[in-house]
Each structure stands twice: as structure tokens, then as C-alpha cells.
Amino acid sequence: MSVPFEDLEHDLPGLRFSALAVDIDSGETLFSHRPDLVLDTASVGKVFLLHRLLTEVDAGTRSLEDRVTRRPSEWMDNSGLWYLLQADTLSLYDVAALIGAVSDNAATNTLCRVIGLPTVQEHTRALGYEHSGLDDVVRWPLPPGAPRTLSHANAEELVRFVTRTAHAADLSAASSDTLQRWLGAGMDLSMVASAFGLDPLAHYYFDRDVWLWNKTGTISTVRADTGLVMSPGRRIAYAVLANWQRGSEVRDRVLAIMRSAGDELRRHLL
């Protein structure tokens, strides 16, 4: 069985996929489609912000117990939860947990101010990710001169990031576990992860012999899903990214293909 990324691209001009799935222990490639193609990944690039925070924790220059107060300019509604909360001050741990669980935009903007966006971007390049990164804070509407994308990536580099996180290659074991726990609280299972039939509010640790952590990105022309899905005997890192032209009515077909990618992963897991 293969995932028909190319067929859908042929049927729908302007649609582009970058996809890859790899067994992180054996190195076997389970599917691959234009893994080097760089696409808009919406909120996926927030993982690099979280990674930089934990790098500073490992270095002893920052504590997750430090408290930070959001500023009015950092407030964003829609994606997230903090905009509904009364508390203006949270620990860095809680700010990061909101980003991992609900891709919180206000938390992203506040943490970007604390860490510094240029620091995150330099850190991402230093890790060897030349075609992926967080491009800006979250803004809406986009002012003149602001980057047109929140983040960008290709499937190859995201699979490498997931693999290295799972192996604690760039963070301490404790910080790697923390990052995976934050992302394991992610509530968006609408894309690749829809195939696993998990509880979107509680799917960290095994359910039906499947354990998942992931990060997604969603805007009107983007669907992106990357993460690690595990069975008791296998661990698979995956990334499936889709971009299409504004005004093109392709969302449902894209989501169906992403679910078929999840079905393929499930077939290899169980």
C-alpha cells in the first residue's frame, strides 16, 4: 500500500505535499514524497521555540519555574486557551505547556519575547536545520513588511527533529521527556493522527497499543502534522505537510489523504 500524494497533486494543480515516515530504530523508510520540498508549516515551527527554552534550562541559564507576564500586545485569540484565562502571569513551564497542548498564540508571543526570536532562529540553524524554522511571532492581520509565514519546513528536517528528540540527542533526557510530554498533550488529532482513534484530550501513554506525540499547523492554505507514533515494538517519526492555493476547495481531500497516511502508519505499527 502507498499513500497517493502524487495522484492528488496531479488532480489539483497548486497543491503540494512534503511527506516522510521513518522507523527511528531500524532506519526503514515507510513512505516518502518530496521530503526536501520546503512548505509553509503554520504553527509547527513553535517546536523550535520550545526546544530553545529547554536548551537554556539544560544550560542552567533559565528555570521553568520562572514567571512571566503577558503584555497586551501579545494577546491573540482563536488558537490557544490563555486568552480565555484570567491569569496574566504564568510559569514558563505552563506557558510552554499551553503551546504544546493547544498551540497557544498568546503564549507563543510571550515566550518569543522572553527568549528572543533571533535567538530561536540562530539556535535552529545551529542544530543543522537549514530549511526549517520559526519565522515570526503570531500577528493578525499581517502588517506590511512582516514575514508572510509563521514557520516553514520540509518533511525530512521535521522527521530528523522528531527522531533526535526521541533519542534525546540535543537535550538532556529530562528535557527531552518534558518536550515530548508537552507535545503529547496536543489536542489536534484531525490530520495524520486521526487514523489512530485516540482520545484527543488524553492520548499520552498507550491507548489501543498506540502512543503519540505530535505538533500540527493549520491556516486556510496549510495542513501540517509531524510527530512520533509508537507501538510496544516500534517507533515511527513522520511528517506530512500540505500547501494549496488560496480559494482552492481542497481541504477535505487533503485531510482524507493525511488520514490515509495515518492508516499506513497504523498498518506498520500493529
Question: Tens digit of pLDDT per residue, the chain (270 long)?
Answer: 589 999 999 999 899 999 999 999 999 999 999 999 999 999 999 999 999 999 999 999 999 999 999 999 999 888 899 999 999 999 999 999 999 999 999 999 999 999 999 999 999 999 999 999 999 999 988 889 899 999 999 999 999 999 999 999 999 999 999 999 999 999 999 999 999 999 999 999 999 999 999 999 999 999 999 999 999 999 999 999 999 999 999 999 999 999 999 999 999 998
| Whole-number Å distance between alpha carbons of 117 and 119 | 5
The DSSP secondary structure of 62-130, one letter per residue, reads: --TT-EEE--GGG---SSSSGGG-S-SEEEHHHHHHHHHHH--HHHHHHHHHHH-HHHHHHHHHHTT-S
Cell digits of residue 119: 535567538
* Per-residue confidence (pLDDT) for residue 77, from 0 to 100: 81
β-sheet bridge partners, residue 235? 230
Which is it for the CA torsion 57, 60, 66, 71, positive or negative? negative
* Per-residue confidence (pLDDT) for residue 78, from 0 to 100: 80
Closest CA to 114 of 91, 85, 132: 91
User: The domain 5-269 belongs to what CATH superfamily?
Assistant: DD-peptidase/beta-lactamase superfamily (3.40.710.10)
* Per-residue confidence (pLDDT) for residue 140, from 0 to 100: 87
Where helices occur in 127-191 by DSSP H, the ranges are 155-166, 173-184
* Per-residue confidence (pLDDT) for residue 1, from 0 to 100: 59
| Whole-number Å distance between alpha carbons of 51 and 57 | 10
> Rounded to whole angstroms, what are the CA distances from 162 to 27, 82, 89?
13, 26, 30
Cell digits of residue 225: 502534522
| Whole-number Å distance between alpha carbons of 48 and 77 | 22
Element (H, E) at 113: helix 105-115
